[in-house]
Amino acid sequence: MLQKFFKNKNLSKKLKLRLQNTVIDKVLTYVSETWTLTNRDRKQLNVFERKVYRRILGRVYDNEK
């Protein structure tokens, strides 16, 4: 459901980031309080978060070397 929202070109990045910050972060934070987080769980949550940001912002190229 959220994949289509994040891929939608007609919605602003600002709106997508706001949704990510208000909905996804809050849900993950609430749910993660119900279990003990291992290092593997933390890594998977970080991977998921980066994936969502990449989907919203697109690829970011670093031109500095």
Distance CA 31, CA 15 (A): 24
What's the whole-number mean pLDDT along residues 20-38?
79
pLDDT at 53 over 80: yes
Residue 64's pLDDT is 60
Residue 40's pLDDT is 92
pLDDT at 1 over 70: no
Distance CA 16, CA 8 (A): 9
pLDDT at 10 over 80: yes
3-state secondary structure of 9: coil
- Claim: this prediction has a pTM higher than 0.85: no
